[in-house]
Structure formats: C-alpha cells, structure tokens
Amino acid sequence: MSATNYTNRQLRHTILSASASQANTLVSFPCQNMLTSGSSLLHAATEGRLSFGEVTIVVPEGWTCQGSQEPLRGVDRANLRNPWTQQPRGCGEPGDFMYFPESFLLENSTLGSRGSVFVHEWAKYRWGVFEEYGHRADPIFPSATRSYDGNETLRHTYCTDGEVAGNFFECEGDNLATCYFVPNAEETTGVTSSLLATPFLSSVVNFCNSETHVADVPTKHNLLCEKRSTWEVIQSHPDITGTSSAPSTSPTFTVKQLKAQTTGNKLVFLLDVTPPMGK
C-alpha cells in the first residue's frame, strides 16, 4: 500500500496493486472483502477512531478494464506484497511494504480471517509495532519459554489476555532450543487480545494495552519497543493523537489502470559545422 493519509478519521487514497495474473481474480471480491472486514475490525480495535475510507486498486497497463477507465500515472507499484511486512526501522517507525500472496486471498487459510490478518500487518506497516509471538527454534524469540513464577513451567510466548489452549512439543529437559507450542483455536475461549499475537483467533479484536500486555515474554515487540504495549505505541502516532471516536463506514473502492510515463516534446538543436560559402 502507498499514498496513505487519514482524513476525518478515515484512511483515504490507499493504493493496492495487483499483478497481471492476479488482477481478474483479485479486484472483484477477495481484496474488497478483506478491506471491508478489516475496516470494521480496525474501527473496533482503535476504540472507534479509525477506519478505511477510500481504496484505489491499481491494475496493470495491459489488462482490459470493463466500464470507465481512469488512468493512473506516476505509480510504478504499490507497497503491498504478501502476509508479512518488511520493517527495517525501529519501534513506532513505518515499514516498507506489506505482502499478501494470491493463495491467501483465494484459498482457505489457517492464519485467521483475512480482515484480522490485514489489520495485524497494517499495524506493523503503518504504526511500527511488531509481532507478539515466538518462532520454533528461534534463540531470540522462541515459541516456548519457562515461566518466572518459581515453578519454571512451560508457557507459550503469545501476548494474550487469556490462556491459549494447545500443546508443547520437543520440550525434553532443560533444552528449549527445539521446543515449540502449537495452539488449538477451537479450544481457546475468552481471549480478546492481542491482534499482534493471535489474529488467527476469531475472538481477538483488540490490541494489547497497559493492563493486558505481557511484558516479560521474549517477543520482537517487547525487545524493540521496550516492553510497551502495542496500543501504547499506536496511541503515540499522529493518526491517533487528538482524534475522537467516529462512526464506522465501509470503504469505497476505485479501480485505476497504470499507465506508462510519457515524456514531453523533444527539442533538438542542430549545429552546422560546414565551411562558410564562398571560401
């Protein structure tokens, strides 16, 4: 996505690009459904402050559009790519792009609802928060760790306001290098945060805040944001500061076609270097 700004607490002039192979299948419903459901979730998660307003879908130059065509110049590509976000900067700083594969948009996914996953990635891309979970065999951000309650019991590294059901695997002895946790969404109840931890749970509709944040688990967000909750980081962004709640509305979509840049008229100077006549 690119060309992002908020007007009247709505994200406007969002740009979403589709490749030539994706355009016919993605422009109609999957992308629009993802942004529409994501807008409702974003409105709830930001306590009624923000939602998506105007979304521009950019289709390739060679694709035949039906209906009115409005050319779009000056955009080589949008920053939207796949279900991950490139974040080379620190806490509170925007990312470079998001990336969603065609398979995620068109097929059933175990990652959660498309709207939830979109808000998860959008928060990272726009507001510079980071994931609140670990990874298998990751020495810095492990999937499982020991509790600090004196019992040293195994626990997952999700930042949630309730217990996530699931099972631990390959956790023999004191070596947790191969230990990992597999959540069970069907048996998990009562968890409402955090969208940066468990977007695959349908009950999760909030970012973690100062009261629900789990600051002692080894997650990327805790490390880079100095154990502040995701909502605390987001609240410090200009998108949020000074805003109040507003009614949620469904986004509107405009399809524009990418046009190649054209150069202006060329001015050519000819220099005659032949000897003067008569000499």
Name the CA dihedral angle for 165, 168, 173, 176, rounded to a multiple of 10 degrees.
-100
| CA-only gyration radius of the chain, Å | 24
Structure-derived torsion over alpha carbons of residues 158, 121, 118, 46, reported in degrees to the nearest 10 = 80
Q: Does residue 76 surpass a pLDDT of 50?
A: no
Does 257 score more than 90 pLDDT?
A: no
CA angle 109, 3, 97 (to 5 degrees): 40
Angstrom distances, CA of residue 234 to CA of 6, 113, 229: 14, 22, 9
The pLDDT tens digits of the residues spanning 21-49 come to: 555 555 557 888 999 999 999 999 999 99
- What is d(CA 96, CA 1) in angstroms, rounded to the nearest whole number? 9
Residue 54: which pLDDT band, with cuts at 50, 70 and 90?
A: confident
Distance CA 206, CA 82 (A): 23
Determine the pLDDT at residue 74. Answer: 44
Which pLDDT score is estimated for 90?
98
pLDDT at 161 over 90: yes
If pLDDT is split at 50, 70 and 90, which confidence band does 201 have?
Answer: very high
pLDDT category of residue 198 using cuts at 50, 70 and 90: very high
- Is the model more confident about 8 or about 155? 155
Are 93 and 276 contacting, i.e. CB atoms less than 8 angstroms apart?
A: no
The count of other CB atoms within 10 Å of the CB of residue 277 is 5
pLDDT at residue 77 in the model: 42
Write the burial class of residue 184 (CB in 10 Å: 0-12 exposed, 13-18 middle, 19+ buried): exposed
Contact indicator for 167, 184 with CB cutoff of 8 Å: yes
**Percentage of the chain lying above the pLDDT 90 cut:** 50
Q: Does residue 158 surpass a pLDDT of 70?
A: yes
Q: Classify strands 14-17 and 5-7 as parallel, antiparallel or unpaired.
A: unpaired
Residue 176, pLDDT > 50, answer yes
- At 106 the pLDDT is 82
The number of beta carbons lying within 10 Å of the beta carbon of residue 107 is 9
pLDDT (tens digit per residue) in 94-152: 999 888 887 888 887 778 899 999 999 999 999 999 999 999 999 999 999 988 666 77
